[in-house]
Structure 1
């Protein structure tokens, strides 16, 4: 009787574990689909860039403005934060910066600042973090999904 009870508990835990992993996998797939559909050709497309920023979730930023540096290379996206719930932590911004750099074709760097603190990431730095050219994210939905899974599991 004890063995049956232990077996049932183990099977239940296994089922819940598989279901949880499956749900996370589905969420990552949906996120990758949404981000890939919102990819942007030129950083100068203000509305499209803003929509993509919103889809990345960009940390826990509540109120921000964007500034697009498009007059000469390197082309940049500067996000000026008015208010953020928690401390200004690089780990809040790095995954979104990687996604933005990969999904905005001509974007060379992303900068987030709140007046006192600053986070900045270039395409080279993002590529080094994911061990491949970050621009490949905009060319393959499967590659984007793979990187999102990797960033989620860190």
Structure 2
């Protein structure tokens, strides 16, 4: 009986390790991919679009973007055209934090469907992760840590 119990515990630990390792590898790969796609200036439309595609927008299936670059504060507005589920059911905070951290001169992100809106500033994002959000673009390891923090909250 003890041998069976030991075998069951070993198998359970092995499965736990495999799934945990997959999640760690996934987070590491995402951090590498996003870090390689970071953007220097919000005015670089194609780079910003590419970064948004890499980050992903969850349940948003169709959108356009507006870049507010004429004067500070510089902003990114994501205009939602279609999405699965309701706007209120979605948590856009992780996406906004990643965008603010990876676009060097971005001051705020706003996601709107015309009726409802979610806005996050650089200061609010920094408070959310307890450090300057702009440091995410300086270190791939720091980016991975924050991605882990945001996805496991």
Q: TM class, shorter-chain normalised?
A: over 0.9
Q: Matches of 1:90 and 1:123 in 2, distance apart?
A: 23
1:90 to partner: Cα distance = 7.2
Give the 3 Å change call, closer, same or farther, for CA 104–90 of structure 1 in structure 2: farther
Give the 3 Å change call, closer, same or farther, for CA 142–89 of structure 1 in structure 2: farther
Q: Which runs of 5+ in 2 are unaligned?
A: none
What does residue 122 of structure 1 align with? 121
What does residue 150 of structure 1 align with? 149
What does residue 67 of structure 2 align with? 68
Aligned residue for 2:92, secondary structure, equals: helix
1:136 to partner: Cα distance = 0.2
Aligned residue for 1:31, secondary structure, equals: helix
Provide the alpha-carbon RMSD of the alignment: 1.0
Note the alpha carbon deviations across 1:61-99, whole angstroms, 9 max, x for none: 100000000000000000000011012147531101000
Q: Matches of 1:82 and 1:149 in 2, distance apart?
A: 29
Q: Matches of 2:121 and 2:16 in 1, distance apart?
A: 38
Aligned residue for 2:6, secondary structure, equals: helix
Q: Matches of 2:7 and 2:37 in 1, distance apart?
A: 45
Q: Which runs of 5+ in 1 are unaligned?
A: none
Aligned positions, number: 153
What are the equivalent positions in structure 2 for 1:1-154 lying under 5 Å apart? 2-89=1-88, 92-154=91-153
User: Could you list the runs of 4 or more consecutive aligned residues of structure 1 that deviate by over 2 angstroms after TM superposition?
Assistant: 89-92
1:13 to partner: Cα distance = 0.4
Q: Is the 8 A contact 1:58 1:92 kept in 2?
A: no
